[in-house]
């Protein structure tokens, strides 16, 4: 509507200057029309450059994350963008779309990414989207022709991960998978030794506290300890492999 106002004011200015004969009336109306033209154009420019008549509106959504690689161990992957590799696009999957690989915008002007790792934290993603919206229907009526309502300002991504997650580049992830495959037999043998030692030590400690423990109770505890020790060894082994891969790909 603001463009229509400029056109109408300009036409009225032309009519006033050419069709009205009394000088006083002609000058007065011409000045008013000229002011209307200038004011309308100033407001158009301010709407375009300063988002006049608009305000920032933010919306936050939370998602549960699944591994970007779709396998164990849990990984959040990123891909370096550009020749310098300074910008990163993080690749992620959510529990409601586990088969769809999504990514953050690598443009720092449009996207902010924060990765937080805490012990035993649930893997979640918080996305805050900030957009420009018109303050009122009146403002939208006057400036809506610019089609800038709901224009994206920035998205803020916060990845909350547990310590059992690994943050790797796509190149590092491929190298990790290759390294684990090469050392698979060695890791399996080491895992058996580690699990056996852990089960024996923990079962001995448990029996020292309860000497009357039955055979079935001992077997149940052994299975529980074996499961826990296996998970602990896998985490330690992968963490070591990740450390080596990161050193190799610096």
pLDDT 10s per residue in the chain (250 long)?
A: 778 888 888 888 888 888 888 888 888 988 998 998 899 889 888 888 888 999 999 999 999 999 887 666 888 999 988 766 678 999 999 988 878 889 999 888 899 999 999 888 899 999 999 999 999 988 888 888 778 899 999 999 999 999 889 999 888 888 888 888 888 788 888 888 888 898 888 888 888 888 888 888 888 888 888 888 888 888 888 888 888 887 777 6
Distance in angstroms (rounded) separating the CA atoms of residues 5 and 10: 8
Q: What is the reported pTM?
A: 0.78
**Between the CA atoms of 172, 79, 116 and 110, what dihedral angle is there, to the nearest 10 degrees?**
170
Residues in contact with 180: Cβ distance below 8 Å, sequence separation at least 6, in sequence order = 187, 238, 241
d(CA 102, CA 52): 34
Strand-pairing partners, residue 133, are 55
CA distance 65 to 180: 24
């Amino acid at each position: 509507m603001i463009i229509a106002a400029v056109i109408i004011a300009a036409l009225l200015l032309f009519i006033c200057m050419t069709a009205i004969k009394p000088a006083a009336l002609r000058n007065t109306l011409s000045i008013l029309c000229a002011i209307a033209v200038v004011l309308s154009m100033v407001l158009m420019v301010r709407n375009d450059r300063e988002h006049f008549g608009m305000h920032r509106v933010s919306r936050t959504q939370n998602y549960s994350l699944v591994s970007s690689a779709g396998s164990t161990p849990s990984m959040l992957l990123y891909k370096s963008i550009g020749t310098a590799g300074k910008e990163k696009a993080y690749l992620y999957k959510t529990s409601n779309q586990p088969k769809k690989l999504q990514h953050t915008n690598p443009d720092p002007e449009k996207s902010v990414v924060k990765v937080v790792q805490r012990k035993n934290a649930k893997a979640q993603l918080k996305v805050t989207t900030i957009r420009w919206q018109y303050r009122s229907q009146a403002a939208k009526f006057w400036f809506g022709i610019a089609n800038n309502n709901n224009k994206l300002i920035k998205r803020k991504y916060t990845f909350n991960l547990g310590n059992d997650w690994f943050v790797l580049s796509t190149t590092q992830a491929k190298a990790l998978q290759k390294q684990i495959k090469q050392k698979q037999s060695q890791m399996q043998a080491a895992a058996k030794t580690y699990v056996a030692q852990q089960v024996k030590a923990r079962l001995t400690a448990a029996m020292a506290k309860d000497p009357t423990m039955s055979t079935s109770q001992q077997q149940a505890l052994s299975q529980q300890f074996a499961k826990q020790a296996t998970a602990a060894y896998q985490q330690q082994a992968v963490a070591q492999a990740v450390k080596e891969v990161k050193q190799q790909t610096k």
